[in-house]
Chains A and B, each alone.
Chain A
Amino acid sequence: MELLPRLTARSVAGAVRLAGAGQASSMPGKVVNRLFPGYLAAHARRLTEGFAVVTGTNGKTTTANMAARALADAGRDLVHNSEGANLMSGIATAFARRPEARFALLEIDEAIVPAALDALGRPRVVVLANLFRDQLDRYGEVDRLAAGWLAALRPLTGTVLVANADDPIVAWVARESGCLTVFFGVDVRDGRAEREVSDVTICPRCSTMLEYTSRWLSQLGDYRCPSCGFARPPRDLEARGLRTVAGHAEAELAAGELRLRVPGLYNVYNALAALALTRRLGVEPAAALASFAAYQPVFGRWSRVRRDGLTVQVNLVKNPAGMNQTLRALGEVEGAKTLLFVLNDNIADGRDISWIWDADIEELLPAAELVVTTGTRRHEMALRLSYAGVPDERLETVSSVADGLALAAAQGAAEVYLLPTYTALKEVRATLAGWEVVHQ
C-alpha cells in the first residue's frame, strides 16, 4: 500500500522539477490523493508517535518551522510540510517524502481543518494561533471558520490545544471544545490600544460588544465581555518586556530569555506557540529557546539576501493584520528604508484586494525614502499609499520586482523591504535567485 503512492509521488516530483515548475511541494501529493484516496488516513495511522497540527490565519509556517527546528535539535525524527504547502496535497507530499518518520508536524490551512482532521484522525496537539480576516472571497467569514474548528475539535478526546489567549475567538473555540488547553499570550502594557481593523469585536458567546483595556494587534488584546463575563483566559505561558534590538525581537518568559533573529510582535507569538507545542511534546523549554535563538527564517518570512551593497528583506503580507504587524515591525527597525509592495490578485492571493484599505497604513507606514509598487494591482496599491499620505515624489509604480529593485539601487538605496502577496512570492524568489543569503 505504501510503496505505490511513494513511487507515484517521487515520479511526479521529478517531473515537476524537470519542468522547472517549482519545488514540488504540492503536486505529488495531489496526484497521490487522487489515485490512492485512503493514503492520508493509512499513513497517519502508521505514525507511531502521532502527529501535531498548527493552524491559524497568520504565522503558521514560522510557528511550525520553529517547532520543527526545536524538535530536530532534540533528536526527534519527524516529517513536516515545511514550505507552507498546507492543503491535503502538501500533507500527502510530505508523508510520501519521508515515509519512515514516526512523528508528523503538520501546518494546516485554517479553512480545511475539519476535512484534514476527518482524514487524519486524532492529533496529539493542535495549535490555534489566531483567526484574522483573510481573503474573504475564498474562505468565508471568520465566524464560519471558528464554527468549523469547533465542530472538528469537539469529538476529539485526549487532544491538547495550544491556544492564543489574547484572541477572543480562538480562546472561545478552545474553551467550548472541552479539550485540555495550554493558553499563551503576551503582556503589552504600553497602552497602544490602537484603532485597528478587527473581525471579532463582539463577544463570541453572547454577541455583546467586547471591552478592551488594551489592544495591540487587530482583535488581540486584554478583553472582557460586560454582559456574559467571557474574558481573556489566564496565560499558562506569557511573554513580557517585548522589545526590538537591532531588528530582532526579544522578550522575557518564565522559562528564560526569548531571543529571535526576526523582528515583530507576531514572531513573539509564533515563538510562544512553538514553545508550548514542543514542551507538550517533551522538549525542555530552555533547549527550545536555544533552538529559536538560532532559527533562521525560511524564504519570504523576514528572510534576507544581499548583492552589490543592496540588502533585501522579504516578508509575505497577505491580510490587513499581517500588513499592520509588518509595518509596525519595520517602524522599529532603524535606518533608511525603501519599501517595495507587490500586490497580486490571483486566486491564491484572494481576488478581492479590498483588504489593503483595511490595513492601518496611515498610522503605521514607517518613514521611507522611496515607496515602490508593482504586481497585478500595482496602481491600486499606489492609490492606497497616496491616500495614506505618501507624497507623489516618493511614490513610484513599476512593472516588475526586478524593475523595482533596479530603481531602488539607482536611487542609492541600501535596504529594501519587499512585501509580496502569496503568488508574488514566486516572482520575488525567481528575481532574487543567486543573491547571497544573509544569516541574521
Chain B
Amino acid sequence: MTDVPAAPVPPASAHDGLIHAAWLFPTTMNTYGDRGNVAALTRRADLRGLGVLWHAVELGDEPPDRCDLVFMGGGQDRVQHAAAADLARLRPWLAGVVADGGVVLAVCAGLQLLGRRYVAADGSELTGLGLLDLETLAARPGEWRLIGNVVADVPASTSAAGGERGEGHVLVGFENHGGRTFLGDERPLGRVRCGYGNNGRDGGEGVDAGRVIATYLHGPVLPKNAWLTDHLLALAFDHAGGGALAALPHEREDTAQHEAVRIAERDAARRRAERGGLERLRATLRRAPDR
C-alpha cells in the first residue's frame, strides 16, 4: 500500500482537494466488478477537480492513518474466510474511522462481514465485525441463491437520499448471494421493487446507517447510481474538511440506470406472468373432476 504519514487536516479554505480512501483487499475481494465502484468515485471526484487517493489494503497490510472513505467488496467463498480473519485484525481501525465520521461502503460479502454474525448451513457461526446490527443465515438446503437484477426505491426520508430535505432515488444493480440477511436495529437502504434484496422476504435492500452504507447490489452499484456515488463523495469530502461538493451532471449515468431498470422490470413482469400461469394451471387441475 501507499504509505502516507498522518497529517493534521488543514482548514477548508486551504484544502488540498484530496479524499483519502482505503480499498480493503482489492486483489482478493474484487469478484463482481467492484473496481467499477472505485472507478466511479475516482471519476466523479476528478470531474470536480478533486482527487481520491486510494490506499490498497491487502491481506496483512497496515491500514492508512488518515482515511475518509472505506470500500469493501465481495469475494469467492475461499478468500472470504481469509478476509474475515484479517478483518478482525482491522476492526479497531475500522471502528475508529466510523467513530471519527468516516464513510464506509460495503458490498455483498462486505455487508455480511460488517454484521454481528454469519450462520453457515451446518449451524457453525462466523463472528462478524459487529459494526452493523444485522445477521446473515446461509441458504438452507432447498433454498435458492438470490440472483438477478434488482430495483429498489430509496425514499426521501432515508439519510442516503438527503434526509428530510432530500428527494427519493432509485437504486439498481445485480444481486447474487446465498446468505439471507436480517436487520436488527438498522434501516434498509431501499425498498425492493424488483428482485430479492437482503433476504427475499421483508422487502429491504441494504443498510443505511448514516455514514456506513451497505448493499447486496453489485453490477457494480455506483456507476449507474450516480446519486449514491455523489452522496458518498459528499460525506467523505466533508470528513476531509473540504466542505460542500459542487453539482455535476449525470445524464450518461442516468441513461445506463434507466436501461437497467427497464430490463429488471421486464424480468419481474415475466416472472409474475410465469407464476400466474402456473397458478392458473394448478387451479384448473384442482377443478378437474376425476383426478
What does the 1/0 interface line of A371-395 toward B look like (CB < 8 Å)? 0000011111011101100000000
Among A209, A352, A362, contact of B176 (Cβ-Cβ < 8 Å):
A352
Whole-angstrom distance between the alpha carbons of A355 and B35 in the complex? 10
Pick the interface stretch among A1-9, A104-112, A136-144, A229-237: A136-144
Shortest distance from the beta carbon of A63 to any chain B beta carbon, whole Å: 26
Whether B27 contacts A354 by the Cβ 8 Å rule is no
Whether A383 contacts B252 by the Cβ 8 Å rule is yes
Whether B31 contacts A202 by the Cβ 8 Å rule is no
Whether B147 contacts A358 by the Cβ 8 Å rule is no
Among B39, B76, B220, contact of A141 (Cβ-Cβ < 8 Å):
B76
Question: Across the interface, which residues of B come within 8 angstroms of A133, CB to CB?
Answer: 31
B residues 6-61 near A (Cβ < 8 Å) are 27-28, 30-36, 39-40, 43, 58-59
Pick the interface stretch among B63-71, B201-209, B256-264: B256-264
Among B27, B39, B58, contact of A357 (Cβ-Cβ < 8 Å):
B39
B148: interface (CB < 8 Å): yes
B117: interface (CB < 8 Å): no
Which interface class (under 10, 10 to 19, 20 to 34, 35 or more) fits A?
20 to 34
Pick the interface stretch among A116-124, A193-201, A250-258, A275-283: A193-201
With A351-B174, A355-B33: A382-B219 Cβ-Cβ less than 8 Å: no
B157: interface (CB < 8 Å): no
Question: Across the interface, which residues of B come within 8 angstroms of A362, CB to CB?
Answer: 39
Among A355, A376, A380, contact of B224 (Cβ-Cβ < 8 Å):
A380
A440: interface (CB < 8 Å): no
Question: Across the interface, which residues of A come within 8 angstroms of B30, CB to CB?
Answer: 197, 358
With A202-B28, A209-B59, A383-B256: A354-B36 Cβ-Cβ less than 8 Å: yes
Whole-angstrom distance between the alpha carbons of A112 and B204 in the complex? 36
Question: Across the interface, which residues of A come within 8 angstroms of B79, CB to CB?
Answer: 202, 207
Whether B78 contacts A207 by the Cβ 8 Å rule is yes
Among B33, B58, B252, B259, contact of A377 (Cβ-Cβ < 8 Å):
B259
Whether A382 contacts B176 by the Cβ 8 Å rule is no
Whether A136 contacts B78 by the Cβ 8 Å rule is no
Whether A141 contacts B33 by the Cβ 8 Å rule is no
Whether B219 contacts A352 by the Cβ 8 Å rule is yes
Among A137, A142, A352, A357, contact of B223 (Cβ-Cβ < 8 Å):
A357
Whether A383 contacts B224 by the Cβ 8 Å rule is yes
Whole-angstrom distance between the alpha carbons of A197 and B149 in the complex? 23
Whether A382 contacts B174 by the Cβ 8 Å rule is no
Shortest distance from the beta carbon of B218 to any chain A beta carbon, whole Å: 5
A345: interface (CB < 8 Å): yes
Chain B interface main SS type: mixed
Among B39, B82, B219, contact of A387 (Cβ-Cβ < 8 Å):
B39
A407: interface (CB < 8 Å): no
A353: interface (CB < 8 Å): yes
With A376-B263, A380-B259, A383-B256: A136-B28 Cβ-Cβ less than 8 Å: no
Whether A136 contacts B31 by the Cβ 8 Å rule is yes
Question: Across the interface, which residues of A come within 8 angstroms of B33, CB to CB?
Answer: 354-358
B residues 210-227 near A (Cβ < 8 Å) are 218-220, 223-224
Whole-angstrom distance between the alpha carbons of A29 and B208 in the complex? 51
Whether A202 contacts B39 by the Cβ 8 Å rule is no
A residues 120-174 near B (Cβ < 8 Å) are 133, 136-137, 141-143
Shortest distance from the beta carbon of A197 to any chain B beta carbon, whole Å: 7
Whole-angstrom distance between the alpha carbons of A357 and B148 in the complex? 17
Among B82, B220, B256, B258, contact of A354 (Cβ-Cβ < 8 Å):
B220
With A379-B256, A386-B252, A387-B43: A354-B174 Cβ-Cβ less than 8 Å: yes
Whole-angstrom distance between the alpha carbons of A66 and B256 in the complex? 40
19 further A-B pairs in the complex, CB-CB below 8 A; given A354-B174, A357-B34, A358-B35: A133-B31, A136-B32, A136-B176, A143-B76, A143-B78, A199-B31, A207-B82, A209-B28, A209-B59, A353-B174, A354-B36, A355-B33, A357-B35, A357-B39, A358-B30, A379-B255, A383-B223, A383-B252, A383-B253
Mind listing 28 A-B residue pairs with CB under 8 Å? Answer: A141-B31, A141-B77, A143-B76, A201-B27, A202-B28, A202-B78, A209-B27, A352-B32, A353-B174, A353-B219, A354-B32, A357-B33, A357-B36, A358-B30, A358-B33, A358-B36, A376-B263, A377-B263, A379-B258, A379-B259, A380-B224, A380-B256, A380-B259, A380-B260, A382-B252, A383-B224, A383-B255, A384-B223
Question: Which 9 residue pairs spanning A and B have beta carbons closest together?
Answer: A354-B33, A357-B36, A357-B33, A379-B259, A383-B256, A379-B256, A380-B256, A141-B76, A379-B255
Interface residues of A (CB under 8 A from B): 133, 136-137, 141-143, 197-199, 201-202, 207, 209, 345, 351-358, 362, 376-380, 382-384, 386-387
Interface residues of B (CB under 8 A from A): 27-28, 30-36, 39-40, 43, 58-59, 76-79, 82, 147-149, 174, 176, 218-220, 223-224, 252-253, 255-256, 258-260, 263
